[in-house]
Structure 1
Amino acid sequence: MSETWIILGASSAMAPALARKLSEQGCRLILAGRDADDLAHGCADCLARGARDAQSVPFDARDPSGFPALLALLDDGPVNCAVFAGSMPDQALIDADPAMIDGVIRDSFTGPAQVLHLLAPQMERRGTGAVVGIG
């Protein structure tokens, strides 16, 4: 398979399982997230499992100033699928600090919508592409 997938929120709890499956299919992976060490480990794991290529890029759904630079990396080739893996802290943490909900909204909804707004024209020009949201 020669598809390119970008996983935004790749250092979340759910994303590594998807990255492993895609690696085994020989996909090119772009792992984007906040935890650089975790992403580097994830890329090494993906390559060991058969990914055609795996690279990590910094991404914070709460900081839209970094979105254009992230998407500029995609000029190397089209993205077949963009996956957004949101965040959800433990309920006890949210109960203790309800303001955390703002970050969850940013990670899971607002940030991905802004990235998609920038990515959609590329997919539309090609006439193909998919978006997956995991919240």
Structure 2
Amino acid sequence: MRAHFSPPSTPAEREEKWHSMREAHFLAPSPYVWKAEETLSYMDRQGIAMKFLSNVPVTLPALQPSNDYGAGTMTGYPAWFGLLAASPTDDAKKAIGEVERMSGVTDGRAVTSYFNGVYLGDEMLGGLDGLG
């Protein structure tokens, strides 16, 4: 099972993100705080043995600390959490660098399917023949 997580943040950062999510029509009733212990408790109640954590910030400065936090959580709870490390979609060299940086640490990769107003399946990206 895959599940989203979020690294620690300040109350002001959570409030700001919550307002932007509400503006984008997400119906979150309050600012979200992810905690490994609460997730483990939920997993136990639901009979879930393991989750692969995933978080895909869109900028490299946000993405690297998120990957590091996820890797630390995975290391702290190795029987319960795996990690799909995020890779940036706006710069191929940065993406390769982040894949190399997280190599051997994570269970896989995750990318956002939407960047700069374009979904990865958009026809304008059809020039990527041979990659499918």
Q: TM-score range by the shorter chain?
A: 0.3 to 0.5
Normalization by structure 1: what TM-score? 0.35
Normalization by structure 2: what TM-score? 0.36
Which of the pair is proportionally richer in helix? Answer: 1
Q: Using CA pairs below 8 Å that are at least 6 residues apart, which structure has the higher relative contact order?
A: 1
Which of the pair is proportionally richer in strand? Answer: 1
